[in-house]
Structure 1
């Protein structure tokens, strides 16, 4: 159990480091980590998704996701419109500017990963990833 407690604490420290590094690096694009993640996820979803789908993918409540998407819309990274199939939901579509930003975000993520991961090899990261994925599957 002591190792599990220590592991949990290390994950918290790593998450904080990642958060601060992301905030610092994404600032050059006028983004924070939440907005950068939303753009990346939207791009991964084929460029169009509902607000609810995005908030679920990022584990963010709908109101916070809505505020972040409103900022992205004001910055020209996304467009929002009513879903013709379901008037109660909004569709979010990435713009050309948003697609270009995703390329920059990807480049910056590589810098963030280098600054946070230290001397960890790709093989070691793969083994850790497998173990963490088992933990996530057990949670469901």
Structure 2
């Protein structure tokens, strides 16, 4: 049976896919893949995180994280170094090349957010954020509950 057009998961999925297409298309001239910008953005907030910290923060499995970071390293956007604190971990650092495109990456993300909320009042934007945060907390809670089974 085809899902109703009023389904919340359908709209969340649709918005996510459109966002990935928009961001990917606007960053492709930097040779940044569709799922890689989130790693750069996380490192723009806190450079030097370990691969594990990045995976946990972004809620992305370690294998996908390793592949994305390998590609970013090959493109010259990051460096991975063995941690002095824990030799089993790699710390991830931005290169000058990555720092040089920070404003470009942030602008694409800001432009997408502005397009997504076009025509919405500040009150509607605040309400949407509150609702999405509640949904995110619910998703995290129930996902963790399933893991504990």
Q: Which TM-score band (shorter chain)?
A: 0.7 to 0.9
Instruction: Report deviation, 1:8.
Output: 2.2
Matched, 1:88 2:119: no
Provide TM-score, normalisation by structure 1: 0.86
- Where does structure 1 lack aligned partners over 5 or more consecutive residues? none
How well do the aligned residues superpose, as a CA RMSD in angstroms?
Answer: 1.9
Give the Å deviation of 1:112.
Answer: 2.2
Q: How does 1:102-121 map to 2 (within 5 A)?
A: 102-121=102-121
Instruction: Indicate the structure with greater strand content.
Output: 1
Say which structure is richer in helix: 1
Contact 2:50 2:92 in 1 (8 A): yes
TM-score (norm 2): 0.81
Larger RCO (CA within 8 A; separation ≥ 6) = 1
Taking the aligned partners of 2:106 and 2:13, their CA distance within structure 1 comes to 23
Q: 2:48 aligned with 1:54, yes or no?
A: no
Q: Partners of 1:36 and 1:13 in 2: how far apart?
A: 19
Residue number in structure 2 paired with 1:24: 25
